[in-house]
C-alpha cells in the first residue's frame, strides 16, 4: 500500500448512476483520499470527463492508446499506483467482461493489471441484475475476492422497483475507508446484539401503528461492530436496507417479537445495543378481520409494550454491557441521563432530533454519549463514522 494508504482508482462504467460519481469523488477527497478517475466510452455519455477532472483535480484517463496520457502515467503505473480500484457504477457489461478477463479498453486492462484490491458497486435494471448470467458473473468475481458492494433496493431510474440501485456515495465511501484502513479487532471473540429500525404494531390484518425510523443507525452499528471483529446479531424491524453481509439477521415485526428475540440473544451477548425505535404501545386486541369504517370518531385501546432494553439491562445472570439510544427534542442531556439511570443502562447515546438534517432517516447524525457520570460529544458526521466511534467507545469499556 502507498504511504497515504488512500489512493483510489475510480472506474466509471456506463450507467445512469454515473451521475453520482462527482459526489462520490468529493466525499472521498473529504476523507483525504487521492482519487484518479478512469472512464469507459459509455460512461462519458452519462457524466463528462471535465466534471470528473474538476472534482478529482486530476486528468481523467479514458484511452489505452493515448500517447500523452501514457507519457504522464502509463496504464501499468496507474494500475500499481492504486491501493483500491473501485468500479462504480459497475454495469452488467463490465461485470461480464471482468468475469471473462476481457481487456479491450483502459479500465478493463487496468483491472487485470492491478495488484490492488478491487471492489465493484453494481448498478443496473433489476431484471438485468437478477439474470442468471449476471449472477453467475458476480459469483465468479466474489470467488476471486472482488468485493461486491450492493446493489441496494428501491426505485430505479427506469421506473422499475427492485434490487439494482448503486449504493449511495456515502455508503461507498464508508466501505472504501473500511477496506483501506482496517480497524484493530477490538471486539474479536465478542458477540454484539443490536436492535434496529421501527416496530409495527398490528391493528387488524391490514393496518398497523409504526414510526419513521429508517434503521440506518442500527445497520451502521452492525457494520462497525463487524469491522472490529465482533460476531453480530442484528434484530431488525421492517426497513428498506440491505443488512451487512456476515451478520446474523433476525427480522421481526412487532415489539413483542423484538422482545422475544432480544431476550433469547442477550444472555449470550457481550454487548447489547438497543437502537430500535420500539413502539411504546400496541393494540390491546388485534382485530381478526379488517376494522370497518364507523362514525366520525373511533377509539383505539392501547396497552404498554415491554421495555426491551430495560429488560436486558435487568438480567442478573449473563448480563451484556447494555447501550441505549435516546432521541430527544429538548433538554437532551437531562432526559438521556434520566433514561440511563431508570433503564439501568451502562451507556446511552443521545441525539437532538429537533435539528434539521440529523437523526431520523438522515444520513448524518451527531451524538452525545453518557456513561457513569461522564459524557463525550461526537460532532456531526455520517452515521457510518459515528457508529464506528460509538462501537470503539463501547469496546474500550469492556473487561
By annotation, the residues acting in catalysis are 158
99 touches ligand C5P (CB under 6 A): no
123 touches ligand C5P (CB under 6 A): no
Given a contact cutoff of 8 angstroms between Cβ atoms, the answer to whether 327 and 353 are in contact is: yes
Site for ligand C5P in 272-311 (CB under 6 A): 274-276, 278, 280, 305, 307-309
Given a contact cutoff of 8 angstroms between Cβ atoms, the answer to whether 323 and 394 are in contact is: yes
105 touches ligand C5P (CB under 6 A): no
Least CB distance to ligand C5P at residue 302 (A): 13
227 touches ligand C5P (CB under 6 A): no
Single out the residue of 6, 339, 367, 395 in contact with ligand C5P (rule: CB under 6 A): 339
Pairing of strands 161-165, 152-155: antiparallel
Least CB distance to ligand C5P at residue 260 (A): 13
> Applying CB under 6 A, which part among 26-34, 82-90, 237-245, 320-328 lies near ligand C5P?
320-328
Residue keyed to cell 476523507: 31
Least CB distance to ligand C5P at residue 384 (A): 19
Given a contact cutoff of 8 angstroms between Cβ atoms, the answer to whether 129 and 92 are in contact is: yes
Residue 109 sits at the vertex; the CA angle it makes with 107 and 114, to the nearest 5 degrees, is 95
Site for ligand C5P in 236-255 (CB under 6 A): 255
Site for ligand C5P in 1-40 (CB under 6 A): none
Pairing of strands 208-209, 7-12: unpaired
Q: Looking at the DSSP assignment, which residues form a beta bridge with residue 375?
A: 370
Site residue total, ligand C5P (CB under 6 A): 15
Closest to ligand C5P by CB, 153 vs 375, is 375
Look at the alpha carbons of 53, 46, 166, 75 in this order and tell me if their dihedral is positive or negative: negative
Pairing of strands 201-202, 191-196: unpaired
Residue keyed to cell 448524518: 364
Closest to ligand C5P by CB, 81 vs 335, is 335
What is the x/- site pattern for ligand C5P, positions 195-214, by CB under 6 A? x-------------------
Residue keyed to cell 446511552: 348
Residue keyed to cell 455520517: 382
Least CB distance to ligand C5P at residue 326 (A): 5
234 touches ligand C5P (CB under 6 A): no
Least CB distance to ligand C5P at residue 310 (A): 7
Given a contact cutoff of 8 angstroms between Cβ atoms, the answer to whether 235 and 269 are in contact is: no
Closest to ligand C5P by CB, 17 vs 278, is 278
Least CB distance to ligand C5P at residue 274 (A): 3
Query: Measuring CA to CA, which residue among 166, 163, 144, 167 is closest to residue 154?
Result: 163
Query: Measuring CA to CA, which residue among 64, 167, 49, 177 is closest to residue 117?
Result: 177
Residues that bind ligand C5P (CB under 6 A): 195, 255, 274-276, 278, 280, 305, 307-309, 324-326, 339
Amino acid at each position: 500500500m502507498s504511504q497515504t494508504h488512500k489512493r483510489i482508482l475510480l472506474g466509471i462504467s456506463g450507467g445512469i448512476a454515473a451521475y453520482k460519481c462527482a459526489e462520490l469523488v468529493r466525499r472521498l477527497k473529504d476523507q483525504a483520499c487521492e482519487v484518479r478517475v478512469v472512464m469507459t466510452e459509455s460512461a462519458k455519455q452519462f457524466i463528462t470527463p471535465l466534471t470528473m477532472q474538476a472534482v478529482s483535480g486530476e486528468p481523467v484517463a479514458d484511452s489505452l492508446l493515448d500517447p500523452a496520457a501514457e507519457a504522464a502515467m502509463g496504464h501499468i503505473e496507474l494500475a500499481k499506483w492504486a491501493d483500491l480500484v473501485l468500479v462504480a457504477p459497475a454495469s452488467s457489461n463490465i461485470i461480464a467482461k471482468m468475469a471473462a478477463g476481457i481487456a479491450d479498453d483502459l479500465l478493463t486492462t487496468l483491472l487485470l493489471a492491478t495488484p490492488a484490491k478491487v471492489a465493484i458497486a453494481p448498478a443496473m435494471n433489476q431484471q438485468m441484475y437478477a439474470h442468471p448470467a449476471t449472477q453467475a458473473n458476480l459469483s465468479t468475481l466474489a470467488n476471486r475476492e472482488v468485493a461486491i458492494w450492493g446493489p441496494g433496493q428501491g426505485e430505479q431510474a427506469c421506473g422499475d422497483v427492485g434490487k439494482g440501485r448503486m449504493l449511495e456515495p456515502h455508503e461507498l465511501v464508508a466501505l472504501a475507508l473500511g477496506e483501506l484502513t482496517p480497524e484493530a479487532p477490538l471486539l474479536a471473540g465478542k458477540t454484539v446484539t443490536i436492535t434496529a429500525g421501527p416496530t409495527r404494531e398490528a391493528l387488524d390484518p391490514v393496518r398497523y401503528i409504526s414510526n419513521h425510523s429508517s434503521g440506518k443507525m442500527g445497520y451502521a452499528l452492525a457494520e462497525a461492530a463487524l469491522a472490529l471483529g465482533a460476531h453480530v446479531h442484528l434484530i431488525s424491524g421492517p426497513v428498506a436496507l440491505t443488512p451487512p453481509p456476515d451478520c446474523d439477521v433476525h427480522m421481526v415485526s412487532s415489539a413483542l417479537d423484538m422482545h422475544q428475540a432480544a431476550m433469547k440473544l442477550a444472555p449470550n451477548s457481550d454487548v447489547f445495543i438497543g437502537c430500535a425505535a420500539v413502539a411504546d404501545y400496541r393494540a390491546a386486541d388485534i382485530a381478526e378481520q379488517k376494522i370497518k369504517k364507523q362514525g366520525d370518531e373511533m377509539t383505539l385501546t392501547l396497552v404498554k409494550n415491554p421495555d426491551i432494553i430495560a429488560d436486558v439491562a435487568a438480567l442478573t445472570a449473563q448480563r451484556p454491557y447494555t447501550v441505549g439510544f435516546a432521541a430527544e427534542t429538548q433538554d437532551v442531556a437531562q432526559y438521556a441521563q434520566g433514561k440511563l439511570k431508570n433503564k439501568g443502562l451502562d451507556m446511552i447515546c443521545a441525539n437532538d432530533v429537533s435539528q434539521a438534517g440529523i437523526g431520523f432517516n438522515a444520513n448524518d447524525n451527531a451524538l452525545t454519549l453518557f456513561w457513569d457520570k461522564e459524557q463525550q460529544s461526537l460532532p456531526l458526521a455520517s452515521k457510518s463514522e459515528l457508529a464506528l466511534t460509538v462501537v470503539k467507545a463501547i469496546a474500550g469499556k469492556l473487561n
